Chain A
């Protein structure tokens, strides 16, 4: 049977193989994604992000288990950084999700960022679509979780769960600008630690100063290791989806996300035209050299490159 049909039938191996093909940028794989794309869009895609050590994997594990109790199929994409030096990576998020490995209703995939600067990999978008078509009702995307990268996630998913932990008081101040505008639901994890209430309160106060939609995001306390508050958190995540559907915000958000995805692909293609062993690539090398020697300037250089691309 063809790979696309097998995926539509919920075949795990086919699903896994197609993700690999897309990750490796194989044309055949991308063609299949084109073919199945129309079948995607049914899953609720949830981003899980927050600082390292915040318990993202454990919380994802617990949310997935809760969904399994409710009879839903779950996909999980866990992203870890690729070493810029070797190109290799150690993907260790599954350690926290051991029981889920053999659950027939769960599919977990670990991905390296493979040179992508954000907290996601370039092929995360496609992997989401593949899991969607494979039949996952809910798809979690767990980011790398370092600083700036968080911004990527909001353009990729339907709902962002921002995880915070007590004891990062100063960090909240430092990252609030970036963080506060991307969370749709806020979870203060490790609620048994001292300072959980304080962290929650600080978050509330910051949210009072402003938030992106007309619905103020909820701040919930959870303990992923003790499995407390997880069910409530899941309800809130689902209710965020309901709210978006009711207010027609889902369509808008997915339009935005699609725009970003297309632009990323455009950018990638242009970069490939400009860099590498193309005619434009050679031209760029020459102009760069001249610019460094002050024989020309970056602005004229740009005009030459753009003209070359247009040709």
Chain B
């Protein structure tokens, strides 16, 4: 990118500067630390110059927004055209209450819904299952059947909103329910917009809401790819998630490496199932974390975009430009929030919001300050949303595209993360792909090593977390936290009893048995699942049939 002669001169001048100016200062005023590191523990140089990015070729490595390799962004105008989608993840207790919260968020200017489901729903159990005890409605809304989905989206026109559902193992069942609700509202499948997370590999790695073993899980995912490419073309069929990998303690480079390795596994599975890469790849989307190290995070998003574009083009021979674009949702880092002095979390979230926006995110959820303590209250959710709005309208960072590009540090860091992530992908390829590497516990162990290192650094005060290991104060117990009514579980149980009395149980049985046959064979299971949800077969019944045929996943742990 630079003239060779000039680079030599800069290098000479830098050496001169180090020997004279710098060393004089260092003698009198040593630096605060021997070694400066990023939030991920990577060493950072004192000063970056053009020499650190001499190998970067502007046209090849950076290019222009909306053009390969998309380092500078996936759209030609980015936020000058349209701001990112401010999508707040919400949902708790019952469908009625969540519905109210969604309507509130839409009124407040939220432009997309994001549905949180409770753990029994995520693991395919109805609210009356013994393992659901104490969990119903706790971390999200409890969905047992289509009846709950109808209430959840009551008076919310599905042709107007885009809905993201954090659902993985039973993603096909919830998508089927969404399609059925749309149909009842008179909205046809091809008009539905939204995303299902549908990323089982990171469940095995980091998040834990898996049900079935790897093979049938991958089949369910490719069935969704195929069904949607034909029938629900505007639906994002998967959100390949690094978020939870990072939450589990990974570094930024691991977040990119492991997430893209999972992405590769999905693409390979779909190609193997006979799908055309350019038919399904444009509907793939990603989901990343935003931590506090602003410049490292911005570099991370840029690196991920460039690397994925190359992988799609070079490894999978994608021809459609849309297949090469890495679109991503961001959530600010839950694990960066402190239970101590929770107000400080507002500042952290603001920095993380800046990172996501300067990194070119397509949508963003900002965490609320009280989330290290409990589920967020309406007030704290509002502040979190306002944070996005302030960055959007007041900070000025949205005025120009990819504003940190050209920073010697950010460009060098982008390259460094890209290289390190690629190294992980190569290692995983050598093992035989992400599913195998997960089975062996390799990925989990790499993440755990990073998490434990971080924990030790905090405990030895090598790393400062404000309010936690430094600048501490005596605090009063925080008041006014959100509480979920423990009676929700009982209420849901009663509803289930009623549902099973009111529906046509004979037809439910028929549909479930057809589904079973489809699972045993190799037909696409989506139409069968849609048939079953329409007659009000419950989530637990449908997943129960699949458990019978597919078996259950066994966790791989290497500590």
Which of A's residues lie within 8 Å of B, judged by CB?
53, 58, 90, 92, 95-96, 225-226
Smallest CB–CB gap between B272 and chain A, Å? Answer: 15
Interfacial chain B residues near A226, Cβ < 8 Å: 551
Contact pick for A90, options B213, B555, B559, CB 8 Å: B559
CA distance A32 to B559 in the complex (A): 35
Q: Which residues of chain B from 523 to 559 have any CB-CB distance to chain A below 8 Å in the complex?
A: 551, 554-555, 557, 559
Per CB-CB distance, the 9 closest pairs between chain A and chain B, nearest first, are A90-B559, A95-B557, A92-B557, A95-B555, A53-B440, A92-B559, A96-B554, A58-B554, A225-B554
Interfacial chain A residues near B555, Cβ < 8 Å: 95
CA distance A58 to B556 in the complex (A): 11
CA distance A95 to B551 in the complex (A): 17
CA distance A225 to B88 in the complex (A): 40
Mark each residue of chain B from 58 to 97: 1 if its CB lies under 8 Å from any CB of chain A, else 0: 0000000000000000000000000000000000000000
Smallest CB–CB gap between B559 and chain A, Å? Answer: 5
Interfacial chain B residues near A90, Cβ < 8 Å: 559
Smallest CB–CB gap between A163 and chain B, Å? Answer: 16
Interfacial chain B residues near A96, Cβ < 8 Å: 554
Q: A58-B554, A92-B559, A96-B554 are known contacts; what are 6 more A-B pairs with Cβ within 8 Å?
A: A53-B440, A90-B559, A95-B554, A95-B557, A225-B554, A226-B551
Smallest CB–CB gap between A58 and chain B, Å? Answer: 7
Interfacial chain B residues near A53, Cβ < 8 Å: 440
Closest A-chain residue to B215, C-beta based? A192
Interfacial chain B residues near A225, Cβ < 8 Å: 213, 554
Interfacial chain A residues near B551, Cβ < 8 Å: 226
Inter-chain CB contacts under 8 Å: number? 12
Closest A-chain residue to B439, C-beta based? A53
Interfacial chain B residues near A95, Cβ < 8 Å: 554-555, 557
Closest B-chain residue to A89, C-beta based? B559
CA distance A218 to B500 in the complex (A): 53
CA distance A220 to B551 in the complex (A): 23
Smallest CB–CB gap between A104 and chain B, Å? Answer: 18
Smallest CB–CB gap between A208 and chain B, Å? Answer: 31
Query: Which of A90, A92, A225, A226 is most buried by chain B, counting CB atoms within 10 A of its CB?
Result: A225
Smallest CB–CB gap between A14 and chain B, Å? Answer: 30
CA distance A226 to B555 in the complex (A): 15
CA distance A31 to B72 in the complex (A): 75
CA distance A226 to B213 in the complex (A): 10
CA distance A92 to B440 in the complex (A): 14
CA distance A92 to B557 in the complex (A): 8
CA distance A53 to B439 in the complex (A): 9
Query: Could you jot down 12 A-B contacts, CB within 8 Å?
Result: A53-B440, A58-B554, A90-B559, A92-B557, A92-B559, A95-B554, A95-B555, A95-B557, A96-B554, A225-B213, A225-B554, A226-B551
CA distance A225 to B559 in the complex (A): 21
Closest B-chain residue to A192, C-beta based? B215
CA distance A225 to B213 in the complex (A): 9
CA distance A226 to B550 in the complex (A): 10
CA distance A90 to B558 in the complex (A): 10
Smallest CB–CB gap between A209 and chain B, Å? Answer: 31
CA distance A226 to B440 in the complex (A): 17
Closest B-chain residue to A57, C-beta based? B554
Interfacial chain A residues near B440, Cβ < 8 Å: 53
Interfacial chain A residues near B213, Cβ < 8 Å: 225
Closest B-chain residue to A95, C-beta based? B557
CA distance A95 to B554 in the complex (A): 8
Closest A-chain residue to B213, C-beta based? A225
CA distance A90 to B551 in the complex (A): 28
Smallest CB–CB gap between A84 and chain B, Å? Answer: 16
Q: Which residues of chain B from 258 to 313 have any CB-CB distance to chain A below 8 Å in the complex?
A: none
